[in-house]
Amino acid sequence: MKKSDLRYRLEPMLVLKTRAKKNAEIRLAQAIGKLEREKKQLKKLEEEKQAIIKRRKESRRELQEKLLEGRAHARDGSVRVNYLRKLEDDEKEKDQEIERQKQVIENCELMVKRARRDYIDAVKELRVIEKHKELWRKKLQKELSRIEEREMDELGNVIHQLRNVA
């Protein structure tokens, strides 16, 4: 058996598949990380919206209290109403930001799905090559055992013939 027969001929392919699996694993981790960051951003935006709603309710309550107690001046009312309108505008703007962020999250989820699929495919391809290499090893081992057996039989025959001649 030649020395070149002892080398696995698909070793470069095995190296490529291993590298592809690692790259797919890295891309999957990055996609998951980005998705988590975007979800945190959405949570932050929702908290900001809740803070705006809370300020608007408090401001409205304060205005009603002043009106009921008779402490409100005409100027206070218009300033407060303008402030409330500004808070409503801020809330609407925050709603738009939240919707945009939800779209970003959907895109990130698609990226995670694709990255997961690519990773699974890379793992399967690597396993196929590894299985092939393992079968090749077993076949090579069987061939080497057969050659060794044949050589031992020949050696045994030579020894037997030498004993019979002597």
pLDDT digit string, tens, across residues 10-30 = 899 999 999 999 999 999 999
pTM: 0.74
Measured CA to CA, the distance from residue 60 to residue 118 in angstroms comes to 54
Architecture of domain 3-165: Orthogonal Bundle (1.10)
Say which residues have a Cβ less than 8 Å from residue 101's Cβ, sequence separation at least 6: 38, 41, 42, 45
pLDDT at 142: 93
DSSP state of 64: H
What are the extents of the domains in the chain? 3-165
Mean pLDDT along residues 41-56: 95
Tens-digit pLDDT profile for residues 82-112: 888 999 999 999 999 999 999 999 999 999 9
Q: In this predicted model, what pLDDT tens digit does every residue of 108-148 receive, in sequence order?
A: 999 999 999 999 999 999 999 999 999 999 999 999 999 99
